[in-house]
Structure 1
Amino acid sequence: MGKTDSEQHCEIPVQSKTPTRIGVCLSVAYVVCIAVYVFIEWCNLLKMKPNEFGDFMAGAFGPLALFWLVCGYFQQGAELRQNTAALQLQATALEKQVDELEKSVKHQAAQADASREALDFSQEERAIRVAREASLYAPRLAVALFMPYTSTAPGLFQVNLKNEGAPAWPLSVKSDRCIPTTGKLRELETGASMSIQAMKPDNFDWPSEITIEVKLNDRLNCERTAVLTFQLDELKQQYASPVLLLQ
């Protein structure tokens, strides 16, 4: 089976054992030669004094020790070269891992951006859909009739609101400057109208502006408020046709 790129880059060369084997063979041959010499000169060795025998042993095995010292030096150099090569391979592998990590981070960032864009698009689509549904199921009120009363009448005016949108259910009609009356509140279907009469409260002082709030529930059960604002015409002592704002 072929090796992967990471295995090929991290592979460390195995140190050759040939120099060690050669050194062992030469040492064995040298020791054999010493043994042969000792066997031949056995009688002379027995006649040696201790100091002479020590000199003989030092002279016999000194070259062998020097030989292994030199072999160790070269062996250590080879190991250092091997460690240096291993460190270089590890550095190369780390650099490649860093590159791969950077690519992975960029890829994840691109995925996050794509997900964020998809989420934003989904939220925009949902907002558009909700707004469209709200417009489909929302009532649209318009002033169909406005009839102001004279200043001496007990009432102020009558206003009829026509629903040109989706059906709605009126909840309440309130004002802090007049008394609005509507009769029984019923479902306000598409094309239907509701009539509001504004009556004068006690001690009515003819304010410059009157506001009437009509609260409704649409088909989505969302509460909406229609605000009618009436401005006083001081010359006629009557209120003008209202400005309608549906919230």
Structure 2
Amino acid sequence: MTTRSAPLYAGCRFPVEVISYAIYLYYRFSLSLRMAEEMLALRGDTVSHETIRAWALKFGQVIANRIRQCRLARGNWWHLDEVVLRIAGKKHYLWRAVDQDGFVLDVLVQSRRNKRAAKRLLRKLLTKQGRAPRVLITDKLRFYAAAKKNLTLRCEHRQYKGLNNRAENSHQPTRRRERQMKRYKSPKQVQRFLAIHDPIANLFYLHRDNRTVAEYRTARGQAFQAWAEMAGARLAVKTDPHLRACAMCPTSA
């Protein structure tokens, strides 16, 4: 039995489970649209890659917004870093903030690497997080300190490259997608893609190395349940019937 009556998918010819699975494949793994099309074809679902693209843009942002609304409070240690992107032959900078647990807080694509750009990132973080960090960790780029001073933040600021591996490692999925997509086409495309990709990546960021096999599988089952709830689809995988509600949802015990 499939779910066809979800308001989000009104008017769609395909069942909710097919649409949500296509979005999951595209944003969860480093797959091209044609790879996702082939994986759906193996299941017997004939969908063009352009249809998957349309689904990803139309429904992916809605699902990502729902994940953001149901997230737990993130850590109060902010790791900030920036990485160079070549877009249409021009140099741009992807500014990223993660917490001490590796969850992506926000990203911002800008054409400059200066005090104004760092200040814009910090202001956006303060607005969305609703609070200032307890500790701010960056590399030795002087613009972070200048932006912090301009915004009169009173948090501790640690500037040492070795401390900021958390933020630097968080760029790796973006680099993999850049190679798979054969470079990003525009700053708007990067911002739009990562605004959907990162919340979904946060949902399935399970810290596998710090868990037993049973704990990991339980956490993975919770993530699957949360995904099905956010996407408005029926859970297609078998899970423990005694599995608790996802800890990311505010209604969970």
TM-score, L = length of structure 1: 0.18
The answer to which structure, 1 or 2, has the higher relative contact order (CA under 8 A, 6+ apart) is 2
Higher strand fraction (1 or 2)? 1
TM-score, L = length of structure 2: 0.17
